[in-house]
Structure 1
Amino acid sequence: MIPYILVLLGAILWGTTGTAQTFLPESAHPFVISASRSTVGGFSLLIFMVLLNKIKFKTWPWKETIYAAICISLFQLLFFSSVRLTGVAIASVVAIGSAPVFSGIIEWVFLKLQPTKVWGISTSFAITGCLFLFMNKGEITINPVGVLYSLIAGLGFAIYTIASKSLLKKEETIPVIAMTFSTSAVMLMPFFFLYDVSWLQETSNVGVVLYLGLATTSVAYVLYGRGLIKIPASSALTLSLAEPTTAALLGVFIVGEALSVTSWIGILFLLGGIVVLTLGARSKSL
């Protein structure tokens, strides 16, 4: 039960990302925000882990780490590209909604792990919820390329989760997150030189970036990683659907966005999927 709650808390923190970004200026390019998040989140943890002598660089499983870092980097780049093409709502729903489906298929086909009935039911609830959220505003123009980017981003996040699960069998959670995001930060650093970063000179903007890096990256992924040790990757990804739910609720109560009836129905279905998965896990542990 506790691992599921940890994953859920991590997803809720991810869901605050969009609201936090609304406090940044329009000149803040999504790629620079992504690079900043990885840099703050990864290196802040890495420094502590090195000081505590928790990381052995010579014997570190670099292969899995590089796979995970590439996947999480591509996820961010594709996701933010999708946001620009087809909007935050569609991009979030397609990317996060498709990830547990991709993970379940990968585990089934390549890892020979039979999907559970609980996963099937909860994922069905989640997909239904995503479809309702997808129908939020009739005036939204769906960009096929943007949707494709989101689908590939969802696949990338699914592979990241599976690679991380493999890493967590060899190393502790915090060192794994530190190494993965530090490696990702190095991969994304060129964007600091390709786009305007003058907005980072403002104290308020730095505060938002620190929140995005520490809370929505370091803390969120550590929680996600600790829970991932004990539960299937597909189940963890289904629970991660709490992210678009949180984002939608914060959009209403903090940003002042209006949600249609179909959106509220979608949120209820997403929450239903999370409840089914969590209660199903609890019944197994009793």
Structure 2
Amino acid sequence: MGAGVLWGTGGLTGALLIDRTGIDVLGVASFRLLVGGGLVVAWLLASGRLHRLRPSGRSVRRLLTLGALAALYQSCYFAAVQLTSVSLATLVTLGASPVLVVAAESVAGRRRPDRRILLAIATAIAGLALLVGAPATGDPAAVLAGMACALASASGFAAITMLGARPVDDLGPLPTAGLSFAAGGLLLLPVAVLTGDMAVAPDASTLGLLLYLGLAPTALAYGLYFTGLRSVATGSAALMSLLEPLTAAVLGAIVLDERLGLAGLAGAVLIGSAVVMTATGRRRFP
């Protein structure tokens, strides 16, 4: 739940960064992964823990896979936004993620999903639809391509959730997040450079936004998420991540004076109810 709240601050921080620097969304995603991963690596170096890490070949492959999935998740989501709209990209990506996780969880465990989880998913998706509003229509080909990108993004996040539930040797959740995202940022950087402008002025405000974006909604949030995945079922964790759009909507109303309206308030209540329903339910899957 802490991860979901911190993720919700990332959208506002990214919007402020774009408005201040003029870089595009892929640039923000690349900086997010690089700064977040870089801060964790710097902490590991300063604390003397980096040289004590002895990851096996299997662990290195897991870290690289998590990094590639993070780059896929970020880039496909922003591609969906550009092809369609923020509302449709958010609805499909965040709505499909818990469905994919629960489906994979059910297949792996060869069990039917718990009815409480299914009810929570339906409640959360309904709330998400009310919160983000009606998707804008446009060119049918662009909409289909955007939905495909959003589903790819959802698949990437679902895969991160499933892999994150399996500890990488004894690295710990925060080193796992930091090292994998540093790798993901390096993978995404060439794409961001080729498709947009990555130049930013090194003033205090910009550096502050970059540091916060890398620290709170990236390194710390995913460290918390990977920690929670060790004791919470993956389907439940994916549902709790829907606190992200709820937090973003509340911050938008407070900081940017955006009005939620009755539909948005109803959606917020439904998402909150789904999270409470998930948090108070019994864990179904081992």
Q: TM-score, normalised by structure 2?
A: 0.88
Q: In the alignment, is the contact (CA less than 8 A) between 2:236 and 2:279 conserved in 1?
A: no
Q: Taking structure 1 as reference, are residues 111 and 64 closer, same or farther at Cα in structure 2, changes over 3 Å only?
A: farther
The corresponding residue for 1:127 is 125
Which AA in structure 2 matches 1:252? A
> Are 1:14 and 2:7 an aligned pair?
yes
Distance 1:40 1:174 in 2: 14
Distance 2:18 2:156 in 1: 28
Q: TM-score, normalised by structure 1?
A: 0.88
Distance 1:157 1:174 in 2: 17
Distance 2:137 2:260 in 1: 17
Q: In the alignment, is the contact (CA less than 8 A) between 1:61 and 1:167 conserved in 2?
A: no
Equivalences, count: 275
Q: Taking structure 1 as reference, are residues 47 and 55 closer, same or farther at Cα in structure 2, changes over 3 Å only?
A: farther
Q: In the alignment, is the contact (CA less than 8 A) between 1:93 and 1:133 conserved in 2?
A: no
The SS at the match of 1:79 is helix
Q: Taking structure 1 as reference, are residues 13 and 179 closer, same or farther at Cα in structure 2, changes over 3 Å only?
A: same
The corresponding residue for 1:193 is 193
Q: Unaligned stretches of 5+ in structure 2?
A: none
> Are 1:43 and 2:26 an aligned pair?
no
Q: Taking structure 1 as reference, are residues 272 and 198 closer, same or farther at Cα in structure 2, changes over 3 Å only?
A: same
The corresponding residue for 2:249 is 248
Greater shift after overlay, 85-94 or 12-21?
Answer: 85-94
Alignment equivalent of 2:99, drawn from 101, 104, 114 = 101
The SS at the match of 2:231 is coil
The SS at the match of 2:165 is helix
> Are 1:80 and 2:78 an aligned pair?
yes
Q: Taking structure 1 as reference, are residues 183 and 44 closer, same or farther at Cα in structure 2, changes over 3 Å only?
A: same
> Are 1:23 and 2:24 an aligned pair?
no
Distance 2:163 2:272 in 1: 27
Distance 2:85 2:118 in 1: 28
Q: What's the offset of the Cα at 1:113?
A: 4.9
C-alpha RMSD of matched pairs (Å): 2.4
Q: In the alignment, is the contact (CA less than 8 A) between 1:64 and 1:167 conserved in 2?
A: no
Distance 2:112 2:62 in 1: 23
Distance 1:206 1:259 in 2: 31
Distance 1:42 1:22 in 2: 21
Distance 1:234 1:254 in 2: 32
Q: What's the offset of the Cα at 1:169?
A: 6.5
The SS at the match of 2:131 is helix
Question: What are the Cα deviations for residues 140-184 of structure 1, in whole angstroms up to 9, with x where unaligned?
Answer: 326332222112211110011111112356541122112211111
Greater shift after overlay, 64-73 or 212-221?
Answer: 64-73
Distance 1:191 1:204 in 2: 26
Q: In the alignment, is the contact (CA less than 8 A) between 1:65 and 1:167 conserved in 2?
A: no
Aligned residues: percent identity?
27
Distance 2:40 2:111 in 1: 33
